Amino acid sequence: MRQAAPAIPPSLLIELTTCPDALAEAQALRYRVFAEECGARLSTPVAGLDIDEFDTHCEHLLVRDQLTGNVVATTRLLDSEGSKCAGGFYSGVYFF
């Protein structure tokens, strides 16, 4: 028997965006998680932002806390057309 997906808490807002300001918020969150919390060494042109060549070819899904306005989760969506422009999929960098 299939269970229903859990409901999204009412204080969270999901947005799909290519807006530069929202993208910078997503990149800042990625930087905090990957570099500061996990210790990854990122090569990025702007301090405090996780920026790479795939960002401009993706749509960015952000989960925002409506009470604070902060981005609390993010992921990138890269379709096959975007991957052609980017020179491949992000996972192709890691898996052959």
As a whole number of angstroms, the distance between CA 73 and CA 26 comes to 8
Give the model confidence (pLDDT) of 46-80 as tens digits. 999 999 888 888 889 999 999 999 999 999 888 77
pTM for the full predicted model: 0.76
Domain assignment of residue 44, yes or no? yes
Provide the percentage of residues in the chain whose pLDDT is more than 70: 77
Q: What DSSP line would sit under 38-71, residue for residue?
A: T------SSTT----TTGGGSEEEEEEETTT--E
- Token digits of residue 94: 């890691």
Q: Is residue 3 part of a domain?
A: no
Domain span at residue 80?
Answer: 18-89
Backbone angles phi, psi at 69, to 5 degrees: 85, -5
In a domain, 2, yes or no: no
Q: Quote the number of domains for the chain.
A: 1
Q: pLDDT at position 52, please?
A: 86
The domain that holds 38 is classified in CATH as 3.40.630.30
Residue 35 belongs to some domain of the structure: yes
Cα separation of 32 and 34, whole Å?
A: 6
